[in-house]
Copies of this chain bind each other. A is one copy, B any other.
């Protein structure tokens, strides 16, 4: 084992390690090596390998004998580069000590800065920096951090809440502030800090029974040991156990020279982006401060200077840019910018420090950007030849397209407001308007052109007339697939649901958010992308995607690359046209029952209600005959718009009692028409009542118990198709049976379809009429027995809303009571109604697909739950090899992009 290499040097344009040595150097160490290797002026330092960690635990917490000389050698290298010496009383070098495993994980040691400050080195540093306050402040931070993460933790002390050494040291600081009447830490003078550090050292010894080390080498080795010990801390161990990370991986230790941007007017610090993160323009953008530390830029106490003249804004146009003040340094930074983009092939967010005129790169990482900028950067980088279109497509988060598809609350103004409520982001985009509490008021004011937001506990089909004219919908209950959410998303309307902070007092027309009481007519603004509610009218910004050529280019690439088809969930000709504009390739979910909701539904709904109240097959058939023409013309109008594309028509899904009129007036009319008294009507209603309607008499269960209901619907679909065919249209109706749990249910229904099909062929004198008979897969049992169901079904469409309800046992209407709580506490990582729960229900879906294809390898499989428009879920659908996804019109572009990303990601895996 002699001369085995345990320490890897890096710095100032070169490194012993490389980017590929993550297992040996950890993520951070490999990254530092890479930055050095591409020639960036990284503050020098060294990485102690993960093998030392393994050795340490295999040898009773001792180090290999080669370690110490190798560390000393590395320190010497650093000293040479910087012209400083570690532990030198005149011209001292300080280090930071950081952990760095292969992947970052909780429980590992926090970074310790300023290692090397002692009573011996402090005076020299003060002389050098001419900044006594800075030096003692650094010392204070070192004591506080070190005594906690190195000393206390390494001693295995597990103090009670608030009894740890760090807390006790903080109390000393608070005392100083109190005594002097200071408000902020920055109010402390150099003398205050000097005295404080003395008190702190005494306290450390008192609490831990051991003096704070006053020797730089002791500090350094203490830090190194602490990193290794943190690998076996309780939190890190339990995290590894959960994530299945092997003990043997170990952690590396990174020791890096400290550099300071606050040593005078030739020093500075700043952050920059290689392209403008707000617009995406290919322009160097950033901010900097003279004689400052990194945290000063971030803290926003001092007004930051612009990096270059182009980046100057109103508030800092009078302040010098780096380009003006230090032109050579700016030129170096600008060269580094080019180098970074060429190397990382993406916009980078970088941190730099200038110490006495020397530029140091502290960090570089992929920079955050908004959607508009992301689109522009991706498209332009492809055009610049920096990346292929496959990579360009990966550069935009599909959800970022929402910025173009919906108006948004102006982000600049939003950041300065505090939300008064938080709920689930059910319909993306922003909206503002006056509070109204009833659908009728919403309709009345909305159609007059007033901007209103409908605020309710929850909505029902009877509210639809008021939801359409409202700018947005806000509910206190319900989840991502509640009625309000589904309807709003279908229209691309802003919507926040399940806002637990909201209490509505209908009687007094008041809405309370926490302590804040608002009344009808007061303005609020919603951010439906994040689920936030603001008081007052915040302005919106809107962009027309058709005017954005980057958007169009991006979706064009997406269509070239994706394998998944993208359909839409629509029920009306108008929505269907909109979806076609957004690129839909068919309808994945046309719900027959939509004709009983919303506009022009009065007459058919009334007939439906008569049917529901019928007491015999004969009565029912008579009423179904009345309903038939409405049904046929409704289906026909949408089928006609989707000329040339498939249309999946789902037979009646909800339990019948959902259509029962809630108002007395409606009931009286119904009783008159049915020639029964209201008591009898009431009795019939009550017979329909169910304790858990979501798992009750609905979907195919209605079709099996009342075959005539299925018969009428199928006849309407096939006659509509027959007539359109004769009119020269190309239609592909797909008849979908909902709520299926057993193959026999499908057999039963398919027999009815067969019978009606023959009748329709005869009536229209046709030889054949393209159509498929398939089923929703939305009941867990359907997944479990998908092999049997595929013997009868000609297609599967996963109804992941209901599957999630049943799979989790979460009623979508009732999760308000606990789901937000679950997400906040991290019990669930995501709302499963928003993103498919891949580790749980994903297994069931995968099983359903595999069993189905086992029986019929060519089975057409799609998804029509709202997950079909969620990017992560779309990618999952691609991976389990579905044929298409279907979502509301406004999410079609998002799904197209996500589908392309899935295909590219898959190709990259292979």
B-binding residues in A (CB < 8 A) = 241-242, 690-697, 701, 704-705, 739, 741-742, 744-745, 748, 778-781, 784-785, 788, 791, 802, 805-811, 813-815, 817-818, 821-822, 825-828, 837, 839-841, 843-844
Contacts and interface: CB of A to CB of B under 8 A. Distances in A.
Given A691-B813, A817-B696, A817-B697, A780 B805 contact: no
Given A748-B827, A781-B841, A825-B704, A690 B811 contact: yes
Instruction: Name, among A739, A785, A806, the residue most crowded by chain B CB atoms within 10 Å (CB to CB).
Output: A806
A691 B693 contact: yes
B811 A692 contact: yes
Contacts of A818: 697, 701, 704-705
A266 B778 CA distance: 68
Contacts of A742: 827-828, 840
A660 to B, nearest CB: 14
B814 A690 contact: yes
A814 B696 CA distance: 5
Nearest to A810: B695
A839 B695 contact: no
B828 A744 contact: yes
A827 B704 CA distance: 9
27 contacts: A241-B791, A690-B811, A690-B814, A691-B693, A691-B811, A691-B813, A691-B814, A693-B814, A695-B809, A696-B811, A701-B817, A701-B818, A704-B818, A739-B809, A741-B809, A742-B828, A742-B840, A744-B827, A744-B828, A779-B809, A781-B807, A781-B840, A784-B840, A785-B839, A785-B840, A788-B839, A806-B807
A111 B799 CA distance: 49
B695 A741 contact: no
Nearest to A844: B784
Contact of A809 (B690, B802, B817, B843): B802
Contacts of A840: 741-742, 781, 784-785
A808 B784 CA distance: 10
Nearest to A695: B811
Nearest to A839: B785
A780 B810 contact: no
Contacts of A841: 781, 784
A840 B814 CA distance: 27
Contact of A806 (B778, B791, B806, B827): B806
A92 B784 CA distance: 59
A741 B241 CA distance: 20
A317 to B, nearest CB: 52
Contacts of A843: 784
Given A780-B844, A781-B807, A785-B840, A827 B694 contact: no
A482 to B, nearest CB: 10
Contact of A694 (B691, B705, B825): B691
Nearest 6 A-B pairs (CB), nearest first?
A692-B811, A695-B811, A696-B814, A697-B817, A691-B813, A690-B814
A843 B782 CA distance: 12
Given A744-B828, A811-B690, A817-B697, A837 B805 contact: no
A454 B166 CA distance: 69
